Amino acid sequence: MPLNLSKLRSRHAAVAFFALAAFANAARLPSSARQPTSSLTFKCDLPSAIDPSIDGLPSAEEQFFSYHAMIRQVERLQAVARIPTVCFEDLRPFDEDERWKPFEEMHAVVEMTYPIIHERAVVETINRFGLVYTIHGSDSTLSPILLTAHQDVVPVEEDMSKWEHPPFEAHFDGESLWGPGVIQDKGVLTAVMSAVESLLTDYSWMPERTLLLAVGFDEECSGSHGAAEISQFLGSRYGQDGIAAILDEGGQGLQSLGDTLYALPAVYEKGYLDVWFDLDVVGGPSSNPPPYTAIGIMSELVVALEEIKFKPEVIEDGPVHRHLQCQTRYSPDADRELTELVHSHNLDGMANHLSQSHETQYLIQTSQAVNRINGIGKLNSLPGYVYLGTDFRSAPQDDVLKLQRAIVDAASKVSSKYDLQLQAFEDDKAYQKSAKNAGSSKSNPQRDLNRNGTLNLRAKHISDVTPISPTEGLVWDILAGTIRHSFSFNGTVVPVGETMLGNTDSRHYLGLSSHVYRWAPIRNGAFENFRTANERVRMTAHMEMVGFYYDLIRNLNSGKRSDAIFLTSEL
């Protein structure tokens, strides 16, 4: 039986208050990444909604908002959600590790689930498990568009008692589908592939602009084998800035505030720094311990790291500031204090206000988290080696070198107290040069055998804050206009650029386009337990995702518009 679209949308309206974005001061960004409109002229005017019906195809509502369509989509999402494509940090080469085997099954299932895509698209395998689909357009002079997703998920909670249903059973309870990755990114992968399959089912349909789908396989482990290799492949074919627009997962979805629905695509990502601390000391029997054990010393280091204070900052004309301006215009009574701060242009006051809430604090501030600690030994023996893993996501005001200096300062206090040899980022040439220029003596490469042990600091993954993608101009207007059409209701839909707290495969594609957006079009409140036990998504909300991708592909590929703003030569 048909689903009532208006009821579907109201039922899953988000109840979250709001989430905000942060971005870099224009002086810190390359000129191509600066916002062209200043805060003095930015008014948060909205582009018109864009209805793709000019192409004569069935509407998204006709295609996807029926009971039959939803059950078909449940089966498609179940097919990939049942495959344990887990990305482990210690995966060995493909032929040496059985844990890669599920990715082979994934390829077979995807091919079986989307037969028309595999019939009509050119399918290329990149670095064993990466996939690139090319649906050639009728006009080869137009730059292609790229939609991306990934196959892998994070390791699951090992305590099965915490799971109401086995993690890879892909249980459907009549409303929600359960399992790792059903939100992001197997949910996004399924929605994108389903939209394209629907379009290609009409054999008379052919895009004017080439459509690319890139599917990575190790995004949860930094994407160095998947998206990085795919990016090189696409770069060799299309060149620098050879792709018109890229849309990846991420962003902050759709959030309701009264009669306004805020759509929050991420227009940049925070920086990323993983730091590992290796402590080597003398072990021994636990019956005769020293005054301070290795685990005790490392615990003190954890406290020192968590006491590092990073300053929150709302940067003028950045996405946080602009989002606040939009909220002040369309939801002025939601937070009167914040509205007054925006009207008075009090950036410090805005930062202080937002930093008081855990929900918004790290959108304007660097975050850090201690994620792993381990000691090698038995209960009756003191470990001589303990390691610690930490994760830093840097806000634009804190570059990587600044973070590293703060980390070294904290570690040096602990190493000095316990007479440890400190070896800080010795393989990092940029840090060593910075430390040398600053006259730092906190990292001594010569091991002192008279010390009580060694504390070594090493960075595993480093990425800087990415450039901002435009929130003005043709590409943004089509993205925002499609959002305003696909999620229209009797209120106002406000698309506004946001921040990406984490990191996605998109950081590997930055050289291919200046229009890189990260957004999974899903409402807050439509999913639960993201990245933990009992992750699940409401399938009615998933259907909206499919409908959005269906509309977006059509709008980006239509060459029939007479409006000057939609001339394909401008994209």
Binding-site residues for Zn(2+), in ranges, read: 150, 220, 248
**Which residues does residue 149 pair with via DSSP β-bridges, in sequence order?**
215
Neighbouring C-alpha atoms within 13 Å toward the C-beta of 497: 27
DSSP assignment of 214-248, as one string? EEES-GGGTSTTTHHHHHHHHHHHH-TT-SSEEEE
Sign of the Cα pseudo-torsion (256, 258, 259, 260, in order): negative
Q: Round to whole Å and give the CA distance between 110 and 149.
A: 13
Of 185, 197, 218, 219, which one is the catalytic site residue? 219
Q: Round to whole Å and give the CA distance between 429 and 198.
A: 51
Q: Round to whole Å and give the CA distance between 489 and 261.
A: 9
Structure-token match 């200096």, residue found: 405
- 219 carries an active-site annotation: yes
Q: Round to whole Å and give the CA distance between 386 and 250.
A: 34
Contact 479, 498 (CB under 8 A): no
Cross-sheet strand order for the sheet of 130-135? 122-126, 130-135, 211-216, 145-150, 245-248, 516-518, 266-269, 498-500
Tokens of 26: 């224009």
Of 152, 249, 477, 551, which one is the catalytic site residue? 152
450 burial (CB, 10 Å; 0-12 / 13-18 / 19+) is exposed
Farthest CA pair distance, the chain: 84
Neighbouring C-alpha atoms within 13 Å toward the C-beta of 258: 12
Closest CA to 494 of 266, 314, 250, 254: 254
Q: Round to whole Å and give the CA distance between 443 and 332.
A: 52
Q: Round to whole Å and give the CA distance between 159 and 166.
A: 11
Span between the terminal Cα atoms of the chain, in Å? 40
Closest CA to 431 of 311, 273, 305, 221: 273
Contact 227, 219 (CB under 8 A): yes
Residues contributing to the annotated binding site: 150, 220, 248
Tokens of 313: 């900052």
Q: Round to whole Å and give the CA distance between 14 and 10.
A: 9
Q: Round to whole Å and give the CA distance between 469 and 245.
A: 10
Q: Round to whole Å and give the CA distance between 569 and 548.
A: 24
Over its C-alpha atoms, the chain yields an Rg (Å, rounded) of 25
- 152 carries an active-site annotation: yes
Residue 371, H or E segment: strand 367-375
Q: Round to whole Å and give the CA distance between 63 and 294.
A: 61
Contact 39, 321 (CB under 8 A): yes
Residues serving a catalytic function are 152, 219
